[in-house]
Structure 1
Amino acid sequence: MPFQKEKPLHSLIAGATAGAIEAFVTYPTEFVKTRSQFSGKKQGPIAIVKETLKTRGITGLYSGCSALVVGNALKAGVRFVSYDHYKQMLADSEGKVGPGRSLLAGLGAGMTEAIFAVTPSETIKTKLIDDAKRPDPQYRGLLHGTGAIIRQEGLSGIYRGLFPVMMRQGANSAVRFTTYTTLKQFVQGTARPGQTLPSTITFTLGGIAGLVTVYTTMPLDVIKTRMQSLEARAQYRNTFHCAYRIFTEEGVLRFWTGTTPRLARLVLSGGIVFTVYENIIKAIGGREP
């Protein structure tokens, strides 16, 4: 079946809206995941939540949230627009995009979003979360924190961990889009011609795509978090040195630290993003046959 092309502007609007909603709804799981991946004392998800609520209150679970909401909106917009663009480039003479080409399109979309949206927002978010656990935090919010980071470290300060972010986002999008697209095409193949998939089915397919994505890309996420922490410059020379130290000093299982909260987030986010995106595209007539 030839794929349906989304209009770029409409795809950007639908993707950005879906990304912002998803980031806000699932942020506490992202906060817990990030906190659990820092070096030092190992804490489980429940212990982190209890400690944060006790010392910072409910708002503590949203430290760095604004950075992720803004970044996620931009990220999702860029992701959907670039994925559709790469699909057009890779489609065969009949307009079809098989799993292999969908994987390449997702890889390209993930790397594009890593450069233009994800790395800066993830770096700022990670530093804000890392700073928030200090007795006397130095950052007073998104704008103050961003300005302080740039003054202290330059623009390179918000591009810490670019390589692992590109690897993670490329792998994320490649696995997520390929899984979702393959499942969607399978389900549509069993449905009546022209039948629109209900939101419950879209949410389920997106959730499954998120589940597959978590377990295949978790090590890249842990390395990314370490490279963007406040202590990264003093501890790691580069991405490979970071991976080597984690492996030799903490063991291979440390690469899957934070799996539970990230699993909760990506399963939810996969369902939310694809469902919101599909419904907005449908509502604004953004899909061309």
Structure 2
Amino acid sequence: MDFWPEFLASSWGREFVAGGFGGIAGIISGYPLDTLRIRQQSSNKGSAFSILRHVVAKEGPFALYRGMAAPLASVTFQNAMVFQIYAIFSRACDSSVPATDPPSYKGVALGGFSTGAMQSLLLSPVELVKIRLQLQNTGKVTEPHKGPSQVAKTIWKKEGLKGIYRGLGVTMLRDAPAHGFYFWTYEYMREQLHPGCRKSGQESLNTMLIAGGLAGVASWVCCYPLDVIKTRLQAQTPSSVKYRGIFDCLKKSVKEEGYSVLWRGLGTAVARAFVVNGAIFAAYEISLRCLFNNGSIQLEEAI
């Protein structure tokens, strides 16, 4: 009975809940664009608009949300873990900064890098299931599935633990530097847009949305070719193995489709990143301030 009041009374509990709200806002706002990105990366069937028309006409608009349950189910814990680990590492990576001051930009970048590497352990299986569901009815995934749990059971039965963590290496290579850029860009841009906000904790909603959106764009641009390779590796099933690893996938993809394949779907990813990460940081910051009671007043004054 007393768990939730005590949980929300702690700083860790507030960070956990705020991170969950941020992640949920990001998933719901950007999932259709993510489905289009995945389909663009896995094939060469035209622009995002042509794929959108085809999906809606052939499979219905709800196909754009296929596989959303997998990331949505894990998003609260994942986002809470990301923000908590980042808070710890951003301080630990540069201990010269006083505890009363915000982390240095060096600490922010190194903390984000460490956070990205660690969260890959959780994110890789979730994205594997999501990709398998998103690529149904495209010819890339032949086994029909009704939901994420059935996909996970099928992968475990046919491929075991190795199958569940297919693509872990490339996920880690993608997420570690991407998260370094992600948190550094957010902290830098919010300070440029609203000088002094890193110390005062007061900023406008527009600052959160723009800084968060730009952080998402920066993180995707720096790692996008690795994301294309990750999608192709995780889309493989035991009956359709084409690539033996990261470098083999890179070599064959470029040979067959040219270097442009490494940037296919970037426009969709950038648009999605701006929307999603603006929503994540805005929801996270607002939720955190509301949980501290006085935050909502500060936000109203800053808008």
Counterpart residue number, 1:81: 84
Inter-partner Cα distance in structure 2 for 1:195 and 1:262: 30
Inter-partner Cα distance in structure 2 for 1:192 and 1:285: 17
Classify 1:127/1:191 alpha carbon distance in 2 versus 1 (closer, same or farther; 3 Å).
closer
Inter-partner Cα distance in structure 1 for 2:201 and 2:82: 26
Counterpart residue identity of residue 239, structure 1: I
**Deviation of 1:58 (Å):** 0.9
Alpha-carbon contact 1:63-1:132 (below 8 Å) kept:
no
Counterpart residue number, 1:119: 124
Q: Report which structure shows greater RCO (CA 8 Å, sep ≥6).
A: 1
Alpha-carbon contact 1:63-1:129 (below 8 Å) kept:
yes
Counterpart residue number, 1:186: 192
**Deviation of 1:137 (Å):** 5.1
Inter-partner Cα distance in structure 1 for 2:199 and 2:157: 57
Inter-partner Cα distance in structure 1 for 2:166 and 2:254: 21
Inter-partner Cα distance in structure 2 for 1:247 and 1:70: 35
**Aligned positions, number:** 280
**Deviation of 1:185 (Å):** 3.0
Counterpart residue number, 2:68: 65
Q: Deviations over 1:169-226 (max 9, x none)?
A: 1122111100001122334435698461011111111111122222211111101101
Match of 1:140 among 138, 146, 149: 146
Counterpart residue identity of residue 226, structure 1: R
Counterpart residue number, 1:249: 256
* C-alpha RMSD of the superposition: 2.4
Match of 1:90 among 86, 90, 93: 93
Alpha-carbon contact 2:37-2:268 (below 8 Å) kept:
yes
Note the residue ranges of structure 1 that are not aligned, 5 or more in a row. Answer: 1-5
Match of 1:24 among 7, 24, 28: 28
Residue 266 in structure 1 maps to residue 273 in structure 2: yes
Counterpart residue identity of residue 54, structure 1: A
Q: Deviations over 1:72-129 (max 9, x none)?
A: 33332221111001012123333363322211110111111111x2101100001111
Instruction: Give the stretch that moved more between structures: 169-178 or 185-194.
Output: 185-194
Alpha-carbon contact 2:17-2:76 (below 8 Å) kept:
no
Alpha-carbon contact 2:191-2:198 (below 8 Å) kept:
no
Q: Deviations over 1:138-178 (max 9, x none)?
A: 21112222212211211222211001111111122111100
Classify 1:25/1:189 alpha carbon distance in 2 versus 1 (closer, same or farther; 3 Å).
closer
Match of 2:47 among 41, 44, 49: 44
Inter-partner Cα distance in structure 2 for 1:198 and 1:34: 33
Counterpart residue number, 2:173: 167
Instruction: Name the SS for the 1:234 alignment partner.
Output: coil
Note the residue ranges of structure 2 that are not aligned, 5 or more in a row. Answer: 1-9, 295-303
Counterpart residue identity of residue 80, structure 1: F
Alpha-carbon contact 1:103-1:174 (below 8 Å) kept:
yes
Counterpart residue number, 1:3: none
Residue 279 in structure 1 maps to residue 286 in structure 2: yes
